[in-house]
Amino acid sequence: MMVHHWTELDLDNVCARVKVFGFDLDNTLASSKRPMAPEMTQRFISLLDRIPIALISGGSMEVVTSQVLDQLGDEARREQLHVMPTSGSRYYQWNGSQWSLIYAHDLDAETVRVVRSSLEKHARALGLWEEQVWGPRIENRGSQITFSALGQYAPVEVKRTWDIDNTKKQALVRAVSSDLPDLRVRAGGYSSVDVSMYGLDKAYAVRRLAQMLSIETNEIAFVGDRMSADGNDYPAVAAGAAGIMVREPQDTLALMDALLACLDTFGVER
């Protein structure tokens, strides 16, 4: 599957055939664990006026709510928004007054205990149990357990430089995978490792969304910053979605302006 930076794409072609735009959250719509900036919120609401959006994030519903949902004003067409936290292993729709949980694939209590134990054991053995952290190292997101080496709320600039070549995360992935052969262990963000059931990733989210909306996966475009073959956004592309790469939220802003102009040219309002 080919992935291109948005400036290399024929956006007219994309807008003509795509029925849903999916977006990653961290470092795509907003900086890690920070709310969307006002200018991003404005574009996001404008895009919702024109086409459905799927928000597919590795983060929990609580994080998605604080970064995105709480930023939306009363004018936002929430019924156009599909909220799929923890890589799509949970799905929420707006019922007119609140976000309603449609499905969830949560890990049982014993599995959570075993995963936590393995993550801590191997992180300590590999020297990845950092002394200075910002928030919890291990978070139970229901359907996913996430290890954050620097804590959930570490500054983005610190996260970026912690594991530039991905060797630390991949070492932890290999070690934990040996303990948990029945679970999927993969690198997440700049300093995180995610553990979930096999088959529950952004590929699952794209396929499930297409099924629920009675569309083809290639009628979904997915925008993300980690689109390399080992990135946590790439599975959406592997499932058939059109992959659109951005580098940071400022890049996404420029893309959104281009998409809004493109959709208006086609007269798209769905």
Separation CA 87–CA 92 (nearest Å): 12
- Annotated binding residues, written as ranges, equal 24, 26, 141, 192, 194, 225
Structure tokens at 103: 């499905």
108 is catalytic: no
- Annotated binding residues for Mg(2+), written as ranges, equal 24, 26, 225
- Answer yes or no: are the C-beta atoms of 193 and 182 closer than 8 Å: no
Residue 49's Cβ-count burial label (10 Å; 0-12, 13-18, 19+) is middle
70 is catalytic: no
Q: For residue 240, give every residue at least 6 positions away whose Cβ sits within 8 Å of its Cβ, in sequence order, or none.
A: 1, 206, 207, 210, 216, 217, 218, 220
Separation CA 256–CA 253 (nearest Å): 5
Separation CA 171–CA 74 (nearest Å): 46
Residue tagged active-site, from 10, 26, 74, 108: 26
- Annotated binding residues for alpha-D-mannose 1-phosphate, written as ranges, equal 141, 192, 194
DSSP run (H or E) holding 20: strand 20-23
Separation CA 12–CA 263 (nearest Å): 8
User: DSSP letters of 147-209?
Assistant: EETT-TT--HHHHHHH-TTSHHHHHHHHHHHHH-TTEEEEE-STTEEEEEETT-SHHHHHHHH
Q: What are phi and psi of 45, to 5 degrees?
A: -65, -40
Residue tagged active-site, from 24, 163, 233, 251: 24
Catalytic sites, residue numbers: 24, 26
